[in-house]
Amino acid sequence: MTIYFGENLKKLRKSKNLTQEALAEFLGMSFQAVSKWERGDTYPDITMLPAIASFFEVTVDSLLGTDKVAKEAKIKEYQEEYSRLLNEKKIALVRDIMKEATVEFPGNYDLLAKYFNALICAEHNDEYKLSIKSETNRVYDMIQNHCSNDSIRIWAKKLMCRYLRDLSLIENSGVDISEAEKILSEMPIMKNTRDYEAMYMYPHDDEKRAAACANGIVEMLRLFGEIMNRRYNSFLDADEEIAEAFINLVETVMPDGDYGQCWYLIVIHTQRTGVKKYLQGDEKAALECFEKAVRLAERYDEMPDVTVHTSKAVEGVVFDKTKAYRFWDDSFAQNIKDGLRNRPQLSEEFKNSEEFRRIVG
């Protein structure tokens, strides 16, 4: 257990405008002993702790900092619970637990931002979205007006943009898309992000520069795939050649098949390409795409939670599945198989073929 006695003693002494010599005199000790306590070189005899605590009118736990240790442990517990439940898609439960966390630790903006995220995402019906309008504005204003952590403030802006976008689509909500656009205009452009700037930080440190560039490549590939995915309104609107270009780019950069954050995007774009091939009359190419998508999804399910990229361009970058985006409740492979079975563009005759049934299991 970490002991914060020296740090706390120094703060308490200064709060009373005492010198080390003056405190030592009150305690009947030498100022050298007090100096060593504050530096953490030594600690007072345990029998002295109640007297020191009484002198400063605090508890022994507060003096030792064990209450701080307990507080940090509880915050970590909330953070871990947030990640676990979010991964299990129990968003409403996350919202309720994180609201409790913000009441217990009102000055912790990380917990407040996590509550904000869960609050907005807990339910997707219009009635709920409208009912949380006041609470959403309250939490957002608290973060923007009082939090000094830029990453938390920007995350909150991102969440608020998406919430206002949803409200603008609800009739008589009183919210126009221009409100989201105003917040959007306050956010940094892509080239002003941490991952981009980090690539320029180490001109004379080859190892750190390579690591920063590897991280940048991973992030930019994922963003490219996400943009491609959001560019079109429906599953089949996407340009087949551009989808294939994305797949080829990722496979070229990551020839070891360590797709990391791009894994689900490779699968989705491969599945989409297969449907387009089928509609063009090339059933053989479609089946090849569907099999590739399913096998990649199966490999993803079998991967350990944490892996390290080995492909040269991104070597050393850590990928944590538990923190990655996911849209499926069961296994990834099962979701893809179910999606193919229910894909309306595929004929029943094609779905009943021996080869298709072999692929989807």
DSSP string, 247-294: HHHHHHH-TTS--GGGHHHHHHHHHHHHHHHHHTT-HHHHHHHHHHHH
Residues 314 and 217 in one domain: yes
310/344 same-domain check? yes
d(CA 301, CA 97): 29
Q: Are residues 212 and 297 in the same domain?
A: yes
* Per-residue pLDDT, 70: 74
Whether the pTM exceeds 0.85: the reply is no
> Is residue 334 one of the residues assigned to a domain?
yes
SS3 per residue for 87-144: HCCCHHHHHHHHHHHHHHCCCCHHHHHHHHHHHHHCCCCHHHHHHCHHHHHHHHHHHH
The DSSP element (H or E) to which 319 belongs, if any, is strand 318-320
* H-run or E-run covering 198: helix 194-198
> Whole-angstrom Cα distance, residue 134 to residue 146?
18
Q: What angle do CA 339, 341, 343 make, to 5 degrees?
A: 65
Which DSSP state fits 29? S
3-state secondary structure of 348: helix
Measured distance CA(215)–CA(99) in Å, rounded: 33
Q: How many domains does the chain have?
A: 3
Residue 48 lies in a domain: yes
Three-point CA angle 226, 228, 229, nearest 5°: 65
Residue at 79 is within a domain: no
Half-sphere exposure of 216 (CA within 13 A, CB side): 18
Residue 100 inside a domain? The answer is yes
Q: What angle do CA 115, 216, 245 make, to 5 degrees?
A: 105
Do 200 and 346 share a domain, yes or no? yes
The total of other beta-carbon atoms located within 10 Å of residue 145's CB is 8
> Where is average pLDDT lowest: 38-47, 55-64, 166-175?
55-64
344 lies in some domain: yes
Predicted confidence band of residue 66 (pLDDT cuts 50, 70, 90):
low
196 or 3, greater pLDDT = 196
Q: Are residues 208 and 178 in the same domain?
A: no
Of 49, 64, 79, the residue that ends a domain is 64
Residues with Cβ within 8 Å of residue 234, at least 6 apart in sequence: none
Same domain, 56 and 153: no
Q: What is the mean pLDDT of the chain?
A: 91
Q: What is the pLDDT of residue 25?
A: 86
Residues 314 and 219 in one domain: yes
Query: Considering 187, 220, 236, which residue would you say is the last residue of a domain?
Result: 187
| Per-residue pLDDT band at 50 (split at 50, 70, 90) | confident
Q: Answer yes or no: is 84 within a domain.
A: no
Instruction: Tell me the residue range of the domain where 355 lies.
Output: 195-360
- Asked whether residue 313 falls in the same domain as residue 242, the answer is yes
| CATH number of the CATH domain containing 15 | 1.10.260.40
Same domain? For 217 and 161 the reply is: no
Question: What is the mean pLDDT of the segment spanning 235-246?
Answer: 74
Whether 230 contacts 165, CB under 8 Å? no
Same domain (yes/no): 210, 247: yes
Residue 115 has a pLDDT of: 97
Q: Are residues 307 and 158 in the same domain?
A: no
Residue 77 falls inside a structural domain: no
Reduce the DSSP state of residue 245 to 3 states and report it. Answer: helix
Q: What are 277-304's pLDDT values in tens digits?
A: 999 999 999 999 999 999 999 999 999 9
With respect to residue 323, please indicate whether it lies within any of the assigned structural domains.
yes
